[in-house]
């Protein structure tokens, strides 16, 4: 699953670059990778706890995890999925993007604070918290930057070759 996340993130960046350079197919790549990535985060109880998809419904797969860890993973996964969909919506200029980003980032920030507390209170440093902190901080930075970036600035970035198109589009926003 970690490889899937890395591959989807790289494809998302490639799609974003293609979209910025106005190459065909950039939007399709951004849409498909963000949808798949948000679906993976919705299955975060298995994803973060290293449970394979074929073992999701087997009781033995959850023997090494606690109920708190599963519930926390699911809440964090929900926040990450909504944040990824907010990032996608902001890059596609959907009006609901800021609302999605603020809702998802709120859940992720609260989860991040709880994870930091668990990580620093725990005498034995657990790999589980380190991995989640790295993932979460990357998405938090990207989501927060996009939340504070106005649509007009993104339009100027996308329409750098055709400023007239950017001005006309700003009128319709």
d(C-alpha 8, C-alpha 37), whole Å? 7
Model-level pTM? Answer: 0.86
CB 63 within 8 A of CB 127: no
Segment (H or E) for 126: none
Q: Which pLDDT value is given to residue 11? A: 94
d(C-alpha 164, C-alpha 69), whole Å? 52
Report the chain's C-alpha Rg in angstroms: 18
Provide the residue count of the chain.
173
d(C-alpha 100, C-alpha 84), whole Å? 9
Question: What is the pLDDT of the chain when averaged over all its residues?
Answer: 85
23-48: pLDDT as tens digits: 899 889 999 999 999 988 888 777 77
Residue 112 has pLDDT above 80, yes or no: yes
Split at pLDDT 50, 70, 90, the class of 1 is low
Residue 125 has pLDDT above 70, yes or no: no
d(C-alpha 44, C-alpha 30), whole Å? 21
């Amino acid at each position: 699953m970690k490889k899937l996340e890395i591959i989807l993130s790289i494809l998302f960046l490639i799609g974003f670059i293609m979209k910025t350079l106005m190459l065909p197919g950039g939007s399709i790549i951004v849409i498909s990778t963000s949808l798949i990535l948000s679906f993976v985060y919705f299955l975060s109880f298995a994803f973060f706890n290293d449970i394979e998809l074929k073992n999701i419904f087997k009781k033995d797969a959850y023997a090494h995890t606690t109920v708190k860890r599963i519930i926390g993973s699911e809440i964090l996964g929900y926040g990450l999925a909504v944040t990824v969909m907010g990032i996608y919506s902001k890059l596609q200029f959907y009006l609901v993007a800021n609302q999605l980003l603020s809702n998802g980032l709120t859940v992720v920030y609260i989860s991040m604070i709880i994870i930091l507390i668990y990580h620093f209170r725990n005498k034995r440093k657990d790999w589980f918290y380190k991995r989640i902190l790295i993932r979460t901080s990357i998405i938090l930075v990207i989501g927060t930057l996009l939340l504070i970036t106005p649509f007009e600035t993104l339009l100027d970035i996308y329409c750098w070759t055709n400023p007239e198109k950017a001005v006309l589009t700003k009128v319709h926003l």
